[in-house]
Amino acid sequence: MSETPGRLLLLGPQRPSPNLSLALAAAKVKGPVAVVTAGWRHEEAELDALQRDLPYHLVHLPLYRWFDEVMARDAALNAAYRSRQDRVLAYKELYRLRLSAAYASVLRLHRMPRTQTDLHEAELLDAVEVVRCLDSRSVEVCERIRQDTVAVRADHPAAAPYSQRVAEIMGHCDALVIAGGHVAVLLNRLLFFDMDQRIAELMARGGTVAAWSAGAMALSERVVLFYDDPPEGPSEPEVLDRGLGLIRGKTLFPHARRRLRLDTPDRLRMLQARFGECVGLENGAWVEISNGGWQDFSEPDSLLHLSPGWGR
């Protein structure tokens, strides 16, 4: 993240013990505070709990509802968006197919006896690079599909009034709070309404951005979907898309204890090999990023620097 006068607060899940209010108070936020809860989808408007916890005037940015209203206003725009999403979904199916095979090859090479160490290591490194290339290509293809669908943009006549409202609200707020929820839906709405630009403007004038769980993930350079033991069987972490790019050099994993096999060194090595520095966020995690530096205010064992030996 480039240096700005603003502050970025990354938090872990807010249950059972929320720390959002403490983090905002420590950052000397005065309000009003804009709130994005698009990841909650149909519960987007349920802000009572947030309002009880936060002693600020909250101004809701209902990006999920506004996006639906934009699509309902213009049939051609809606059709263009649906076509774009169909292409993304079709590509993701191809990406997962290739990723599964490439990921399995890395694990098999890693577990093989190493009778010719130099040859084995060279092939293992190359196999990991294949996975990394697939991950990078996933971001590139999604971005290209977005660019090819020029009609789907925040300044479209059907969307422009909503985008202007977003800009007006952000221009009058001292801080922005981004909740968790469904990360793909949240990221989609943030990107559509050009929230990366709005956030950059807020932080350039010294404002604060606080985000937790999926909200924190959405601020990364790229968003990784992960769950080592889903009901349908083992799966590999996959790159969803680029994020808003405020957090650089680190990949975030909320609920890491619940969703990752932290006692399996092979899988943790693959996380590091693919994504570099990996950080788990549990309830109680709290990091402040300002002037390019990280300050850790987390509760013990809530901010996890994932490595192959963690949890052994």
Q: Is 58 helix (H, G, I), strand (E, B) or coil?
A: strand
Mean pLDDT, to the nearest integer, of 124-128? 94
How confident is the model at residue 125, as a pLDDT? 93
Q: Which two tokens stand for residue 227?
A: 């769950």
Task: Give per-residue pLDDT as tens, 134-153.
Answer: 999 999 999 999 999 988 99
Mean pLDDT, to the nearest integer, of 211-225? 97
Q: Is 205 helix (H, G, I), strand (E, B) or coil?
A: coil
Let me know how long the chain is: 312
Radius of gyration, alpha carbons of the chain: 20
Using CA atoms, how far apart are residues 29 and 60, in angstroms rounded to an integer? 17
Task: Give per-residue pLDDT as tens, 270-310.
Answer: 999 999 999 999 999 999 998 778 899 999 999 999 976 54
The answer to whether the predicted template modeling score (pTM) of the entire model surpasses 0.85 is yes
Check pLDDT > 50 for residue 311.
no
102 phi and psi angles, rounded to 5 deg: -70, -40
Domains of the chain: 7-71+152-305 (3.40.50.880)
